Amino acid sequence: MIPLDPDVSRMIADSVARHAAGQATADHLSSLQSQGWLHCALPEASGGLGFGVDAAALIAGGLARACQAEPVATCFMAARMLALVAPDSPPAADLASGRRLVALADGRVRVDGGRLAGTLTHMPLAEVYLVVADDALFAVSGGVEQGTRLDGMPLATLDLQHAEATRLSQGPQAAEALRQVRAEGRLVVAAELLAHAEVMLDITLDHMRTRQQFGQSLGHFQALQHKAADLYGAALLSRAVLDAAIARAAPGLAPDDLDRLACRAKARANDAAMAMARGAIQMFGALGITEEGPLAPHVRRVLALVPLLGTSAELRRAYARIGRVLKRNTSKDQAA
């Protein structure tokens, strides 16, 4: 993947910011579609722009500031998967034309007597799902809406036994691509989480400057100043980690290195976003726990995104399985 050059980055960031600042439109999906933001990871020959994780993170992060990032990450992962192993398939055309919504179905799938088996739950609602099983990539339709996620998004269940599946690609590259796309997806979701954290920080700082108690603004109280400083530090740290990870991931990395970076960056974003949600609510007082309050959509979104592609504990376990890099024996030279 060729990383975005700084000018293109800036252009994307600006147009995303303009979009996020505008009125939420009734037809959110088609407006994202017409900007090209849902299928930009498809190759140009398939109607996309050949963009990678850096662009997707910019788009998802920018839209997340206005709680409008759905379904960018989902579509990015689908588009990326197709770009890697099935760029000329019907789902790629569906995604490019905006005819049908395509999502990557991530979960354990078996193949039983030539048929897919198992049930996938907590899936985004889409018309076509990409499923990796038995060294092959399948397109599956037939998801059923089953409940609503904390952030208001519909959740779907996909019963693979009875679904219609089409094989799009065969070979070990499907599983390899899935691994890469999950890692990149973690970076994109991390970008959203961090954006929510940063917005909550801004909202909270404004509140601390204006809300008066005991004859002064909340921001005068040192106990709260120190909390705010810690939340600021958490966001700054997560930003440094995520930007560095995306800059390293964009040109392409060995699978283990990409996984490590993505696990670490998403774990840090998870933690920053949760710390921010807790801290912001507390500093808002009762207003912080109202549904109408300014924090609510961000908080709900954070709680929905933290488990997506891994809670921090899950990510650390995955990281430990790949193997830590700072090992004692590698840090000493012979003379020691």
As measured in angstroms, the least distance from the Cβ of 319 to another protein is: 5
| Residue 313 interacting with another protein (CB under 8 A) | yes
Closest by Cα among 134, 26, 40 to 79: 40
Q: Which stretch binds another protein (CB under 8 A): 30-38, 108-116, 205-213, 295-303?
A: 205-213
| Residue 320 interacting with another protein (CB under 8 A) | yes
Closest by Cα among 100, 137, 101 to 116: 137
Which H or E element spans position 70? none
As measured in angstroms, the least distance from the Cβ of 125 to another protein is: 34
Residue 293 has what DSSP assignment? S
Nearer to another protein among residue 164 and residue 230 (C-beta) = 230
Nearer to another protein among residue 167 and residue 211 (C-beta) = 211
- Asked if residue 130 lies in contact with residue 163, where contact means CB atoms within 8 angstroms, the answer is no
Strands 128-133 and 102-105: parallel
As measured in angstroms, the least distance from the Cβ of 80 to another protein is: 24
* Segment 206 to 245, residues that bind another protein, using CB under 8 A: 208-209, 217, 219-222, 224-226, 228-230, 232-233, 236-237, 240-241, 243-245
Q: Which of 5, 113, 212, 327 binds another protein (CB under 8 A)?
A: 327
Nearer to another protein among residue 44 and residue 230 (C-beta) = 230
Question: How far apart, in Å, are the Cα atoms of 11 and each of 15, 25, 42, 101, 107?
Answer: 6, 22, 19, 26, 35
* Segment 56 to 115, residues that bind another protein, using CB under 8 A: none
How many whole angstroms separate alpha carbon 306 and alpha carbon 311? 6
Question: How far apart, in Å, are the Cα atoms of 143 and each of 121, 205, 237?
Answer: 9, 42, 39
Instruction: Name the phi and psi angles at 83, rounded to 5.
Output: -60, -35
Instruction: Name the phi and psi angles at 121, rounded to 5.
Output: -120, 170
* Segment 245 to 264, residues that bind another protein, using CB under 8 A: 245, 264
Query: What are the beta bridge partners of residue 156?
Result: 123, 145
Nearer to another protein among residue 39 and residue 264 (C-beta) = 264
* Segment 264 to 293, residues that bind another protein, using CB under 8 A: 264, 267-268
Nearer to another protein among residue 135 and residue 232 (C-beta) = 232
C-beta neighbour count of 294 within 10 angstroms: 17
As measured in angstroms, the least distance from the Cβ of 233 to another protein is: 4
| Number of residues binding to another protein, judged by CB under 8 A | 42
- Cα dihedral value 247, 37, 23, 29, nearest 10: -140
As measured in angstroms, the least distance from the Cβ of 193 to another protein is: 15
Binding region for another protein (CB under 8 A): 205, 208-209, 217, 219-222, 224-226, 228-230, 232-233, 236-237, 240-241, 243-245, 264, 267-268, 313, 316-317, 319-320, 324-328, 331-336
